[in-house]
Amino acid sequence: MDGFDYIIVGSGTAGATLASRLTEDPACSVLVLEAGGPDRGLWLKLPVGYYKSIYNSRVSHLYRSEPDDGIDGRQMDCPRGRVLGGSSSINGLIYIRGQAEDFDDWEALGAEGWGYRDVLPHFRSLETYSGPPSQYRGAHGPLQVSDLRMTNPACEDWLNAAREWGLPDNYDLNGESSYGVGRYQLTLRGRFRDSAATAFLKPAMARPNLTVQLRARVTRLVFEGNRVTGVEYAQGGQIITVHADREVILSAGAVQTPQILQLAGIGPADHLRAMGIVPRHDAPEVGENLQDHLQMRSIVELTDTHDSLNDHVRDPIRLARMGLDWLIGSKGPLTVGAGQYGGGACTSHAKGRRPDIQLFVMPLSVDKPGKPLHRYSGFTTSVWQCHPESRGSIRIASTDPAADPQIRPNYLSTQKDRDVLVEGIKIVREIFAQPAFRNRWSREVVPGGGVQTDDEILTAIRKGATTVYHLVGTCRMGTDDSAVVDPTLRVNGVSGLRVVDASVMPKITSANTNAATFMIAEKAAQLLKQTS
């Protein structure tokens, strides 16, 4: 295979976006290497299909963490997309940027040029929002962002209860503020999911200067001296080496990008030596700074079976109506993602009116995606901490590129993280108890009416909390000597190599991380064009 200007490892949210933007220049040739296969199949297209896809090993790499003391010794599932479009093809479709202050925090932590005023133009340029025009929103970008297309009486009453509790209305959680409650927005194109593949990569694949190789797993980086000049990858039983005339760009995600770097000898030197790898550059923070949102569900049983999707999916007539709503009107329960209603709220630990907890409301209940909905009329409000202090790590456990690394999230390892989540459950209960919602439910199922003291609530969280699949931060950007990449996303200690994905976040965004990952790639494309 001939050389390319850029080789991008990974076709997920960042890789697909970056490849599309770079190949707008017909003189720029790009190769994208994707370890998974094509994004075919109804479940990858149907918005609610994430429920079936996220734990499907055909399209998802089913990583698991090491046993974690913070969650009662449990191992956490950490699925990551292994398909064209990466995790954007299997995620819950929620599109929320995070708080403006999140990006100002990045800049304060050394990510120069990544403050909110710097990144807002990139958020706007990547999206076409179907709602009212706004100085905060985009109208001409490739990614289609839609308001929620489903109403549910119980969810509407939950909104009223949240207002009674004291939260303001917020029509656009991607607008001026993320404080308050409203309806979440989704990445929808018509009646189907809009992923990084459908919005960015597939339209660009018609260009002669873009090549995409599927089922191509990178096995090593190729060096000439201290410069990365290409990659080696396995495909169809063969090992293929390809050259990058300009740069290699890792967009493999917060798990695999640090794994590739460590296998190349870029990482904590002592650990690399213990693995039998000669360190090329001692970078202790490669794989460190791992962050994730940990959610705890509160589930009540509704008194009216007309309002819970638990009952609807077992009723053939209601199922038929759901199908017709989706097919004819591009609306209804089949167009929803992982949460429908919710917003940002403040515990007593919050600073000012900056939310420190995020609420997600669903008129259903389930143990986890892929499992059957509960037999009773369930209604769920999940809560997670926006800005967890706990930090984990990802480290290789083998020199085999196909072996999973060790993932250690270290959930709830600080007192503040424990206190915020416990208070979050109390706030959810207070909203459930407001007049607008109290008559709608008969009993609390999770964590359960018998769980009352702070210690009891914390124990329930340790035993029942789950990931929101938001792993980030393992190749932190900054200007200090220990940062993995600089603010232009170049890997420190070597040349010809950048990282463009969620692993560069110095600090996790307050809400879902997919929108911010799109933005990282959009800004990275501009940086690369400026330096080419």
Q: Which residues are annotated as a binding site for FAD?
A: 83, 218
Q: Give the whole-angstrom CA distance, residue 494 versus residue 487.
A: 15
Q: Residue 94 carries which DSSP code?
A: B
**From CA 344, how far away is CA 167, in angstroms rounded?**
9
Residue 415, amino acid: Q
With a CB cutoff of 8 Å and minimum separation 6, the contacts of 157 are 436, 437, 440
And the tokens for 290?
């791992």
Half-sphere exposure of 345 (CA within 13 A, CB side): 28
* Spatial separation of the C-alpha atoms in residues 214 and 32, rounded to whole Å: 8
User: Residue 49's closest CA among 188, 214, 149, 184?
Assistant: 188
Euclidean distance between CA atoms 245 and 263, whole angstroms: 22
Torsion of Cα atoms, 72 then 78 then 79 then 85, to 10°:
150
Contacts of residue 275, Cβ cutoff 8 Å, sequence gap at least 6: 262, 396, 397, 398, 399
Residues classed as catalytic? 470
Q: Residues near 140 by Cβ (< 8 Å), separated by ≥ 6? A: 125, 128
Cα dist from 300 to 128, 421, 432, 500, whole Å:
36, 18, 9, 41
Asked if 298 and 382 touch (Cβ cutoff 8 Å), the reply is yes
Q: In whole angstroms, what is the distance from residue 186 CA to residue 194 CA?
A: 9
Angle at 158 (CA atoms; ends 132, 46), nearest 5 degrees: 60
Instruction: Sort strands 497-499 and 341-345 into parallel, antiparallel or unpaired.
Output: unpaired
Within 13 Å and on the Cβ side, how many CA atoms surround 317?
Answer: 1
User: What residues form DSSP beta bridges with 212?
Assistant: 32
β partners of residue 477: 485
Q: Is the peptide bond before 447 cis (omega within 30 degrees of 0)?
A: yes
